């Protein structure tokens, strides 16, 4: 059995032609899956019996099952718990940014790339379960079709992708890059609307630069000093800040692209005035934007969300030092929107 979601549209047609069917049958199949979001072969009404039998015996479509779906009160954040073929579970989140002008609506999908995560950032619910396994490219790609199937009721579809769900994308680099390429081609989402977020895996950052891949690079920074970052992002002990920033400068020299730095904002830990000064010194000369993220409250966690006035004071200080800084619009806090929280509840 060949996974449909592991193939480009051209490869799908080639395999169908090689099996003795006309190319238009492949185009019909692609239309059903990618345009109509229909995944049951028996429901594809314009396919003949012989072609349906071929598909049933040779092509594997969706093999991820939605076992739980939670929406926030506004219907802007939709969280899915998905069951994989081996009975493991992952999460994905749709974030809808709705505008009065519907043509400007943005539907972002936060994808998972691993079952669990071995980086084990202490503020992240995913890391508490450790790493179980990497996702295959087709398991990553399927998440987009499941999201589009949900959005069909609104006559909408995913138009932005962020690899910011469960897992460290660059610890599953080959499958992630293959999935990103398939998403770009098969769902017609441009590279500049696909973001890959890393905790700071230098080899992945350099490969993105060397291959001149046009995806947005986001780095989970979270602290301007090794002392604090060693605790918040344990991988920092392997890839300390001086090495990480050197890799960022290399990436920027090669690609000329702006980098996004994600900065989790934690009360009494990393938003002191001196943190703003050190952050400006650390990132001096790098074309970047800092995305301030109020920490999510995870059950039993020591990390507390700062007061709004403290977050905006930190933002103001960073801007006075010349940094571009925004505070992320919060979505999904009423449904435990942070990665790993829903999965952990179900596992318990």
Q: Do 1 and 59 meet the contact criterion of CB atoms below 8 Å apart?
A: yes
For residues 43 and 72, state if they share a domain.
no
Task: Sort residue 79 into left (φ over 0), alpha (ψ -120 to 50) or beta.
Answer: beta
DSSP bridge pairs for 78: 71, 94
**Structure confidence by residue, pLDDT tens digits, 119-133:** 999 998 887 779 999
Q: Could you report the per-residue pLDDT of 41-70, keeping only the tens digit for each?
A: 999 999 999 999 999 999 999 889 999 999
Q: Are 197 and 111 in contact (CB under 8 A)?
A: no
Same domain, 28 and 102: no
CATH number of 24's domain: 1.10.150.530
Is residue 282 domain-shared with residue 326, that is, in the same domain? yes
Q: Which domain holds residue 182?
A: 65-347
346 is a catalytic site residue: no
> What's the token pair of residue 134?
């990497």
pLDDT in tens, 279-305: 999 999 999 999 999 998 766 678 999
- What is the C-alpha to C-alpha distance for residues 132 and 344, in angstroms, rounded to an integer? 13
Of the ranges 44-48, 269-273, 330-334, which one carries the lowest mean pLDDT score?
330-334
Count of Cβ atoms closer than 10 Å to residue 27 Cβ: 14
For residue range 148-174, list pLDDT tens digits in order. 999 999 999 999 999 999 999 999 999
CATH number at residue 189: 3.20.20.70
Alpha-carbon span 252 to 288, nearest angstrom = 10
Residues 6 or more apart whose CB falls under 8 angstroms from that of 345 comprise: 336
- Given the residues 121, 124, 318, 339, select the one marked as catalytic: 339
Looking at the fold, whether 264 and 313 belong to one and the same domain comes out as yes
180-212 burial string, b = 16+ CB within 10 Å, else e?
bbbbbebbebeeebbbbbbbbbbebbebbbeee
Question: What pLDDT score does 347 carry?
Answer: 57
- Asked if 156 and 245 sit in the same domain, the reply is yes
Please indicate whether residue 111 or residue 75 has the higher confidence score (pLDDT).
111
* Stated pTM of the model: 0.92
Q: Which of 91, 168, 175, 262 is catalytic?
A: 91
3-state secondary structure of 82: strand
Active-site residue flag, 203: no
Read off the pLDDT of each residue in 322-337 and give the average, rounded to a whole number. Answer: 75
Measured between alpha carbons, how far is 305 from 326 in angstroms, rounded to an integer?
A: 16
Q: Please identify, among 27, 60, 93, the residue that sits at the C-terminal boundary of a domain.
A: 60
C-alpha span between 282 and 221 (Å, rounded):
11
- 227 and 329, same structural domain? yes
Q: Are residues 185 and 199 in the same domain?
A: yes
Percent of the chain with pLDDT over 70: 93
| Same structural domain, 92 and 199 | yes
Q: Is 56 in the same domain as 90?
A: no
The reply to whether 183 and 260 lie within a common domain is yes
Residues 37, 126 within the same domain: no
Residue range 90-118: average pLDDT? 91
Number of domains in the chain: 2
Q: Are residues 249 and 134 in the same domain?
A: yes
The vertex-145 CA angle with 51 and 171, nearest 5°, equals 115
User: SS3 of 265, please?
Assistant: strand
Mean local confidence (pLDDT), 263-280: 97
Last residue of a domain, one of 36, 60, 84: 60
Q: Considering the chain, what is the average pLDDT of its residues?
A: 93
């Amino acid at each position: 059995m060949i996974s449909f979601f592991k193939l480009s549209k051209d490869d799908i047609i080639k395999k169908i032609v090689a099996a003795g069917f006309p190319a238009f049958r492949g185009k019909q199949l692609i239309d059903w899956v990618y345009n109509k979001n229909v995944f049951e072969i028996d429901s594809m009404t314009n396919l003949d019996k012989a072609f349906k039998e071929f598909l049933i015996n040779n092509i594997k479509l969706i093999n991820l099952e939605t076992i739980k779906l939670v929406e926030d009160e506004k219907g802007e954040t939709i969280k899915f718990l998905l069951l994989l073929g081996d009975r493991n579970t992952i999460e994905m989140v749709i974030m809808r940014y709705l505008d009065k002008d519907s043509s400007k609506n943005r539907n972002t999908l936060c994808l998972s790339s691993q079952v669990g995560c071995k980086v084990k950032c202490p503020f992240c619910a995913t890391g508490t379960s450790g790493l179980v396994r990497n996702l295959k490219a087709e398991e990553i790609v399927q998440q987009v079709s499941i999201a589009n199937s949900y959005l069909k009721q609104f006559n909408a579809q995913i138009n932005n992708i962020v690899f910011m769900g469960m897992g460290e994308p660059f610890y599953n680099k080959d499958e992630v890059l293959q999935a990103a390429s398939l998403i770009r081609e098969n769902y017609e989402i441009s590279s500049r609307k696909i973001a890959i977020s890393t905790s700071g895996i230098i080899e992945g950052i350099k490969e993105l630069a060397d291959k001149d891949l046009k995806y947005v690079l986001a780095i989970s920074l979270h602290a301007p000093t090794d002392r604090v970052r060693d605790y918040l992002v344990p991988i920092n002990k392997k890839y300390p800040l001086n090495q990480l920033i050197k890799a960022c400068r290399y990436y920027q020299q090669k690609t000329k692209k702006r980098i996004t730095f994600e900065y989790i904002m934690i009360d009494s830990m990393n938003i002191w005035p001196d943190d703003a000064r050190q952050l400006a010194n650390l990132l001096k000369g790098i074309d970047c934007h800092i995305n301030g993220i109020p920490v999510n409250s995870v059950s039993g966690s020591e990390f507390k969300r700062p007061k709004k006035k403290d977050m905006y004071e930190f933002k103001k200080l960073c801007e006075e030092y010349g940094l571009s800084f925004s505070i992320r619009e919060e979505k999904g806090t009423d449904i435990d929107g942070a990665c790993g929280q829903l999965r952990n509840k179900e596992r318990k």
